[in-house]
Structure formats: structure tokens, C-alpha cells
Amino acid sequence: MAECHPVGFQWVMEAKARGATVIHVDPRYTRTSAVADLHVPLRAGTDIAFLGGIINYVIEHERYFRDYVIAYTNGPTLISEEFKDTEDLDGVFSGLDAEQRKYDFHSWEYQTGTVQAASGHREMEAEKAARHQERHRAEAAKSKTAHGESHGSGGAAVPGNADRDESMQDPRCVFQVLKRHFSRYTPEVVEQICGVPKELFLTVCETLSDNSGRDRTSAFCYAVGWTQHSVGVQYIRTAAILQLLLGNIGRPGGGILALRGHASIQGSTDIPTLFNLLPGYLPMPHAGVDVDLDTYVAGEETEKGFWGEMRSYMVSLLKAWWGDTATPENDFCYDYLPRISGSHSTYETVMAQLDGTCKGYFVVGENPAVGSANAKMQRLAMAKLDWLVVRDFSLIESATWWKDGPEIETGELETKDIATEVFFFPAAAHTEKNGSFTNTQRMLQWHHAAIEPPQHARSDLWFYYHLGRLIKAKLAGSSEAMDRPVQDLTWHYPTEGSIAEPSAEAVLAEINGYDADGTPLSSYEQLREDGSTACGCWIYTGCYRDGVNQAARRKPWREQSWVAPEWGWAWPANRRIIYNRASADPDGKPWSERKAYIWWDDDQARWIGHDVPDFDVHKSPWYRPPVGATAAEALSGVDPFVMQADGKAWLFAPTGLQDGPLPAHYEPQDSPFANLLYGQQRNPVRVVFSNRHNRLHPSPSEQGSSVFPYVLTTYRLTEHHTAGGMSRWQPYLAELQPEMFCEVHPELAKERELEHLGWATIVTARGVIEARVLVTERMAPITVQGRRIHQIGLPYHWGPNGYSRGDAANELAAIVLDPNVHIQEVKAFTGDIRPGRRPRGPASVALVEEYQRRAGITRSTGTEVRGGR
């Protein structure tokens, strides 16, 4: 965190000065470790084993926050008898379809119906059950489409009437299933998998437990490297389970805080430039399933919780986009939406470019030729395009690969053979445009234009507004049905200044939403399904409340409460801590004075406190829903997790995840070790691509695996920014970390005759790079299962362009993806290292091929579903 988010880290340092204990778990000794109370190095790619070990400790030693767990989690909820755990099936869950490489989730569901519905309601229950079955089929059809992401602001659909055992003794209740599942994650196993000594591990367990409960809370902070694994989502899930057991969610000083790396990466998830989502985590319609608005809503909405109002959100979005054309008679133009039919993620798109399906490509403030896994495939794919548009400040690698990329040097590509047209548009800087960024804590902050962009530099708002205007003008006279969505699209934004910059505030007002009179809305609760409201992103409703740009609020922090609610605007409803109902006990009293945040005030008969309550403010702690209630009405006074279908936090995820209702430790795709816990080596439903440029390494038991004996991990440095487009061209930053280097331990340097300050060549089955050598004891070898294993550190900022240059670490990484969110595994893989510079020209390709031969790699290596140890 000190490395990548130094200014955010000031709060950690302040907490430390006030007595907090800072524990840093990381394979590397970083700037964070340097000031932490405890640094816990572990083998890259073993975090589930580590966190699972803590879960086991917390349960075994009864250190969990029992009152919280019973009241606010699904710990007491009973699971279907059909469910079989990894304990039963040697590392996989019930429902695995090896052929299809996916799970059927049916057996993971809650048990329902033991409690009979009251007379007269049985019919309704039967109807509900039928609807649920339908939803289940829809969900199954959408597996492999990163569908789980549509739960980004809440949970997936489950029946709201599941059976519970409040004593949490029933062997089929979630808590008991969880206990059994993690029982083999003992300190000894943690030591053997992660290389974390038992004593050190127990210190972490004790410290964390001691600092959680009624009076204290602990927070987990992670940078998004945690997501870059073939089990990335389950990493976060394991942390979530642990934090829920400890009662650290929805409370001040608690939480799991994702420290994201780009100014509006949260915003670009909420208002998604993502294939599978529409604004506000509404899923993109799926071909053949979501055939009309009714089936779409039926397949997604939940019976309880705020997702129960999904139709209102969707209709309002359609009204925002197609205005008067969107009417109840035409399903509000629902049919104008394109359908997805599987994963169309950036990596599948690369494959579609390679096979010629995808012909045109916009690259906007990104640098895939350096920053995406398997950089070579990114470039080879771009070389197949008809046209490429790159918008950036400088000539990044993604704009110039056709004349000076690595493949030109190796002879794999020749400039004159590349037919791709390339447009480079200079981008405007943040100082030259109005707009909002949503930071990592969901807070929108407006930045005001200081000056107009010089010459032909333009904002992306300008680019897309005018591109849309031009396309609409060109298609205005068309009678083709395919052009109707473009012709009918609302695109009326006022422009200002000499360059006709569209008004960002007008766009924000549309995002916020307005009623039939055009009056800005103030809450998503005002959204209607009859078409009387329009709203571009329902979770952002309120950001333009009263026609005032709430994101631009800047009341100095010294002049307001410590929560600082009058600075910017946080979704939803300007809440700074979501699920904050959990900061009070079931009776609505703070768990402790020290940790008071939101509480029920009897006199006022409402929730009050330091933040906007994440709860119906008038719903008392003793409210219980009447039979037959739906949506928000159906949530009781003790259901803090209002976006979840059952109002409870999920220790066990009965639906919504592609690779299991509980996390299980699997080894990374490329790993030098067999999975000690199960016969199952890798995540069975990980996404792999068989391509000759994307070869995978042999399993540890296979002979060829020793060809790649070291663990490689990629990361960022304080002095640079991701793929370098905003740092390698800046001399003041470039001089601080002037070129690509690798970090190796002195023992490894000796073993491989690597000279400090000399050059090293690093090879995988995907590619070869060179890097200057930094020998440092900070890259500690790890002792696992009696073997001492070296890890090699690779910052990934560099590429061949810019002021500060070097080879890109992503040349080495394979495209292997987490099945839930399709994020690549680049934080833990394997490779070889040797002294000296890499070969030039065709010899560098030959070297990689030689390694593939030596390791016996074929197209099927490492692609198995079951087993693989």
C-alpha cells in the first residue's frame, strides 16, 4: 500500500501512531513491509491457504464474533442436502461438468420449504419456486460471461425463505459446512503450502483476533494484484468470510478495502466500459435467455432487497438512452440492446481479433501492448485489425508496435505486410476537462477544467460526443432496422467554448436521472418502472440532487465531521460505509461506544449516526416483514446487507460464483508445487486458451516442470504508473526508476551467476525478456515442503517506447483467467532466469521454442480440468 498508494497510506501511518498493529503479507519485502509491525512473506499464489488457515483458527479457537455471525450472516442458513464439498470430492464441489469446464450451481442452494408456508400462501410459494427454477436455468446459461459481476452492488438471486438454525449446530448449516471445509487448513498445512512458519502464522491469527470484536475492528487492504490470479475472486471471498466471522464488515475501521490503481477504475466499473454490464451493475442481456424485458427482469431481480426494484432501474436506463421512443408498448426499446453470448472480455476479444472476427479497435488511455498479459498476443492481434484508434498523451507502444514493436525486430511481423490503419488522437489532460472520477471508496469527485486543451488534444467526452454526432448524422437517412437504435439515441448535450466541448455536467445530470418534468432525482427509490423517470446509472442517483453537482462539493475537512460527508459524493446515497446497519447490534445499539457509527434512536424512531444509514431510516430493529412482502419491504430490521437477496452477508455463496460456494486453495496455473490439500491441482473451471503463443507450463509432477524452476511475480513501483503511459515519459519519474529490472535474492544470484547491475534473461513458454539485475535480500526464498524456492520480482511498467525503457514483464505471462471476472493470472507463475542479455532477432523466438521443447510442452499441457497434480 505504501508502494502503490502512498497518500492513502498516511492513514495507516496515522493509525499506527495511535497504536494500531500493521501486518503486511506479501511475497516481497516492500516499502510497506519497511514500516509494518510485522512482515509475513509467503509463496506467491497461496493466499487462500493462508487466509483459510486463519478462518480455521478463528473457528477452532472460538474467536469469531458469534452475535454478529448469527444475526447478520448466512451462518445459520441450511444448505441443500445435495451439496458436496471439496472434503467429499477431493478438491472440487458438487456440480462440476468437466466436459463443459463449468459448474452447475443447483446443489449449492439454500434449503427451502421445510418451514411450511402458511395456508393460502402455498400457491404463491409454489409459484416462487417455479420462478426460482427459471432464474436458475438463466444463471446457468450465463456462466462463463462474468455474470457474477452484475452483483457488483449486491448479491445474486436466492430464495428469501431459506431454513435457518439459529444455534448453528445443524451439520448442514453454513457455519458447520464452513467449519468442516476449512478444518484441514491447519497451521502446519499453512506452513507447508505458504512457507509461513507456524509461530509467525499464529502471531497473525492472534493479533487479528485480538483486534476484532465489539470494541475493536480490523481492516484488510489489498491492491488489485490480489485479483490477478486464476482464483482471484476467491481470494477476496476468503478475506470476506474471515472479516464476517470477525464482525469487521459495515463497521468503522473494518472492511475489505480494494486499493485500485486508476483514477476512475471504480467509476468505469459502476458506469461500465465492460462487456457484461450496463450502468449500475445491470447485466447485459444474454442471447436466447433475456429475450424481452420481462424475462430479463425475471431472470435477475431478487425477491428481497433493493434488487427487487430492478425493473425500475432498467426502464429508467432505457428511457435515458432512447427517450420518447422508449414506451411501454415497445418494451422501452429493450430490443435495441445488443446481446452477449458468452465471454467477450478483453482477452476473448484478442482471440476474436486474431481470427479476424473483430476488425476495428479503440484503445483509450490503455496500453495493452505492455500492460495486458501475453503482450505479444496483444500486438499480433492488433496486426490483424482493419483499423485501430489510439487515444493517449504520447506515442505509447500500443500506437507504434507496427513499426517498432518487438515482433518487427524478431521478424515475426513486417511493417509493410501490416494492413492496419492506425489513428492516433492526442488526449486532453485532467486539467483541461470537466468531469468526475469515482475513487476507490466509491466517492465521486469533480475536477474542473483549468484551461482548454491545446491544439488538437481533446477530451474523450469530446471525442465520443462528436463521433456519435457524426455517426448519427451519417445514418440519419437510413431505413435499415439496424440503424434505429442509433437514430433514436438521445444525444442532446449542450456544447461550450471554441472547441464545442460537450457539457460534462449535462452528462452527469443524465446519469443522475430526472423525472417526467426534467427535475433531477435525489434517490434511486424515486425510480419508476412506468417510464416516468429516466436515469443513466441508478446507483449514482443523488449525485446531481437538486440540480447541484454534488461531486463538486469541497467543504474543507477541518470544517466538518470526521466522516466528511460534504466532500464529493459517494454512491449509494452518499454513504461512506456501506452496510453500516451492521455497526449496531440487532437491537439497534452500537456494538460498543468506541465503535458507534449508526444506531436506532427510539425517541425519533429512526436510525441516526455519523453517516447516511444504509437502511430504511424508519425501519425499526424489530420490524419483521409480513408474509408475501417483496423487495426492500421483505427485509427485516436485522437484515443489514440490503442488496443481498436474503439481507444477510454470505459466508457461503449459494449462487453467483463460477468456481465454488466456498474458496478452496488451488495452485496457480504455473506452479512448482503440487497441491498439498487436494488431488485437484488447479482451479478446475479456470479459463485457458490453447494458442501457440500462449503455452502453459507442465504440472509439478511432470518432468518438464523443472525447466521453469522459479516463481515469477509482477508488480508496480511507487515511481511509475501501470503500463507506463503516464510515467515513463515524465523525466522526473523516469529518473527515479530508469529502466526495467528484476529483483533476485543473493542465493539465486549465486545459483544462476547473476551479477548485481548486470543483465538477466528471463524465459517462459510465452516469451523472453531481459532486465537489469538488482540483487536484494528483500526477495526472500521460501521454504516449502522441504524445498527452498526462489521468487523473482518483475515490475511491469516498461516497454520499448518512452524516455525510460525496457522489456515488458507481460511478455512472460500467459492468458489464464479467473472464471468469475476473467482477470489474468500475473501475480504468480513460473519461469527460468539466466545471466546476460536476451538474444536478438529470430534467435529470441528460437530460445522460447527451445524451452518449450525441453519442457515437453504441447497444446494440451496444463489445460486439464480434473486432477493435474
Partner 1 sequence: MTKLPKWPVLEQLIGPDRLGRGKSVKSEHSEHLHARVSDADRVVKSVCPYCAVGCGQNVFVKDEKVVHIEGDPDSPVSRGRLCPKGSASLQLTTGEARRYEVLYRRPHASDFEVLDLDRAMDMVAERVIKTRRETWQWEQEGKRMRRTLGIASLGGATLDNEENYLMKKLYTAIGAIQIENQARI
Partner 2 sequence: MAVEVKSLLLEKDTPAHASGYRDHPPRMGFFTDTSVCIGCKACEVACKEWNQVPEDGLSFTGMSYDNTGGLGADTWRHVAFIEQRRRGVHQISDNQAEQDSGSLRWLMASDVCKHCTHAACLDVCPTGALLRTEFGTVIVQEDICNGCGYCIPACPYGVIDQRQNDGRAWKCTLCYDRISVGVEPACAKACPTDSIQFGELSELHRRADQRLGQLHRAGVSDARLYGRDERDGVGGDGAFFLLLDEPEIYGLPPDPVVTTRDLPEMWLRVGVAALGIASFIATSFIGRRHD
863 binds partner 2 (CB under 8 A): no
520 within 8 A of 545, measured Cβ to Cβ:
yes
Q: Comparing C-alpha atoms, which of 719, 699, 720, 724 is closest to residue 867?
A: 699
457-516 residues near partner 1, rule: CB under 8 A: 457-461, 463-468, 470-471, 474-475, 482, 485-486, 489, 502, 504, 507-508, 510-511
Please select the residue that binds partner 1; options are 143, 211, 230, 346, rule is CB under 8 A.
Answer: 346
User: How far is it, in rounded angstroms, from Cα 315 to Cα 323?
Assistant: 11
429 interface partner picked from partner 1, partner 2, none, CB below 5 to 8 A per type: partner 1
Per the listing, cell 479476424 goes with: 356
What's the Cα-to-Cα distance from 457 to each of 431, 498, 505, 532, 556, rounded to whole Å?
12, 13, 20, 39, 33
Q: Comparing C-alpha atoms, which of 430, 450, 446 is closest to residue 567?
A: 446
Q: How far is the CB of 231 from partner 1 (least distance, A)?
A: 16
User: How far is it, in rounded angstroms, from Cα 738 to Cα 745?
Assistant: 21
Draw the binding track, 21-40, toward partner 2 (x: CB under 8 A; -: no contact): --------x-xxxxx-xxx-
> What single string gives the DSSP state of each residue in 141-175?
HTTTTTGGGGGTTSPPP--TTB-B-TTS-STTBHH
263 interface partner picked from partner 2, partner 1, none, CB below 5 to 8 A per type: partner 1
439 binds partner 1 (CB under 8 A): yes
Closer to partner 1 by Cβ: residue 182 or 437:
437
User: How far is it, in rounded angstroms, from Cα 412 to Cα 375?
Assistant: 14
User: How far is it, in rounded angstroms, from Cα 247 to Cα 218?
Assistant: 9
Closer to partner 2 by Cβ: residue 272 or 806:
806
Q: Please count the residues of this chain forming the interface with partner 2, following the rule CB under 8 A.
A: 49
13 binds partner 2 (CB under 8 A): yes
Residues 6 or more apart whose CB falls under 8 angstroms from that of 529 comprise: 309, 311, 312, 315
**Segment near partner 2 (CB under 8 A); pick from 355-363, 650-658, 664-672, 768-776:** 768-776
383 binds partner 1 (CB under 8 A): no
Q: How far is the CB of 260 from partner 1 (least distance, A)?
A: 4
Residues 6 or more apart whose CB falls under 8 angstroms from that of 359 comprise: 353, 385, 386, 387
Instruction: Report the Cα 497 to chain-centroid distance in Å.
Output: 38
Please select the residue that binds partner 2; options are 679, 738, 835, 839, rule is CB under 8 A.
Answer: 738
User: How far is it, in rounded angstroms, from Cα 228 to Cα 829?
Assistant: 11
DSSP at 787: E
Q: How far is the CB of 13 from partner 2 (least distance, A)?
A: 5
> What single string gives the DSSP state of each residue in 62-122?
T-S-HHHHHHHBSTTBBB-TT---HHHHTS--TTEETTTTEE--GGGSBPBSSSPPPTT-H
734 binds partner 2 (CB under 8 A): yes
Per the listing, cell 442471447 goes with: 287
363 interface partner picked from partner 2, partner 1, none, CB below 5 to 8 A per type: partner 1
Q: How far is the CB of 773 from partner 1 (least distance, A)?
A: 24
What's the Cα-to-Cα distance from 220 to each of 2, 441, 532, rounded to whole Å?
14, 14, 42
User: How far is it, in rounded angstroms, from Cα 404 to Cα 398?
Assistant: 10
Residue 323, Ramachandran bin (φ over 0: left; ψ between -120 and 50: alpha; else beta): left
778 interface partner picked from partner 1, partner 2, none, CB below 5 to 8 A per type: partner 2
Q: Please count the residues of this chain forming the interface with partner 1, following the rule CB under 8 A.
A: 162
Q: How far is the CB of 796 from partner 2 (least distance, A)?
A: 16
Please select the residue that binds partner 2; options are 177, 782, 833, 848, rule is CB under 8 A.
Answer: 782
559-618 residues near partner 1, rule: CB under 8 A: 560, 564, 567-568
402-431 residues near partner 1, rule: CB under 8 A: 402-403, 415-426, 429-431
Which three-class secondary structure state does DSSP give residue 294? helix
What's the Cα-to-Cα distance from 366 to each of 34, 457, 720, 814, rounded to whole Å?
32, 17, 15, 19
Identify the helix (H) or strand (E) that includes residue 496.
strand 495-496
Please select the residue that binds partner 1; options are 96, 337, 377, 794, rule is CB under 8 A.
Answer: 337
248 within 8 A of 219, measured Cβ to Cβ:
yes
Closer to partner 2 by Cβ: residue 8 or 586:
8
User: How far is it, in rounded angstroms, from Cα 452 to Cα 501?
Assistant: 9
440 binds partner 2 (CB under 8 A): no
Draw the binding track, 541-560, toward partner 1 (x: CB under 8 A; -: no contact): -----------x-xxxxx-x
User: How far is it, in rounded angstroms, from Cα 80 to Cα 268?
Assistant: 37
Q: How far is the CB of 493 from partner 1 (least distance, A)?
A: 8
Closer to partner 1 by Cβ: residue 271 or 634:
271
3-state secondary structure 270-281: HCCCCCCEEHHH
686 within 8 A of 818, measured Cβ to Cβ:
yes
Q: How far is the CB of 29 from partner 2 (least distance, A)?
A: 6
257 binds partner 2 (CB under 8 A): no
272 interface partner picked from partner 2, partner 1, none, CB below 5 to 8 A per type: partner 1
Q: Comparing C-alpha atoms, which of 304, 269, 250, 21 is closest to residue 146?
A: 269
100 binds partner 1 (CB under 8 A): no
726 interface partner picked from partner 1, partner 2, none, CB below 5 to 8 A per type: partner 1
361 interface partner picked from partner 2, partner 1, none, CB below 5 to 8 A per type: partner 1
633-652 residues near partner 1, rule: CB under 8 A: none
Which three-class secondary structure state does DSSP give residue 765? coil
854 interface partner picked from partner 1, partner 2, none, CB below 5 to 8 A per type: none
Please select the residue that binds partner 2; options are 214, 469, 778, 866, rule is CB under 8 A.
Answer: 778
661-720 residues near partner 2, rule: CB under 8 A: 717-719
169-228 residues near partner 1, rule: CB under 8 A: none
The grid coordinates of residue 149 equal: 459481476
End-to-end CA distance of the chain: 34
Closer to partner 2 by Cβ: residue 132 or 772:
772
822 binds partner 1 (CB under 8 A): yes
306-335 residues near partner 1, rule: CB under 8 A: 321, 335
Cis check for the bond before 187: say yes or no (omega within 30 of 0): no
199 binds partner 2 (CB under 8 A): yes
Please select the residue that binds partner 1; options are 8, 586, 709, 835, rule is CB under 8 A.
Answer: 8
443 binds partner 1 (CB under 8 A): yes
284 binds partner 1 (CB under 8 A): yes
Please select the residue that binds partner 1; options are 252, 435, 520, 806, rule is CB under 8 A.
Answer: 435
857 binds partner 2 (CB under 8 A): no
604 binds partner 2 (CB under 8 A): no
Please select the residue that binds partner 1; options are 107, 207, 269, 776, rule is CB under 8 A.
Answer: 269
Query: What are the two backbone dihedrals, phi and then psi, of residue 33, each rounded to the nearest 5 degrees?
Result: -60, -35
789-808 residues near partner 1, rule: CB under 8 A: 802-803
319 within 8 A of 326, measured Cβ to Cβ:
yes
**Segment near partner 1 (CB under 8 A); pick from 435-443, 520-528, 602-610, 845-853:** 435-443
203 binds partner 2 (CB under 8 A): yes
562 binds partner 2 (CB under 8 A): no
772 interface partner picked from partner 2, partner 1, none, CB below 5 to 8 A per type: partner 2
Site residues, partner 2 (CB under 8 A): 2, 6-7, 9-10, 13, 17, 29, 31-35, 37-39, 41, 195-197, 199-200, 203, 717-719, 731-739, 741, 756-757, 772, 774, 776-778, 780-783, 803-804
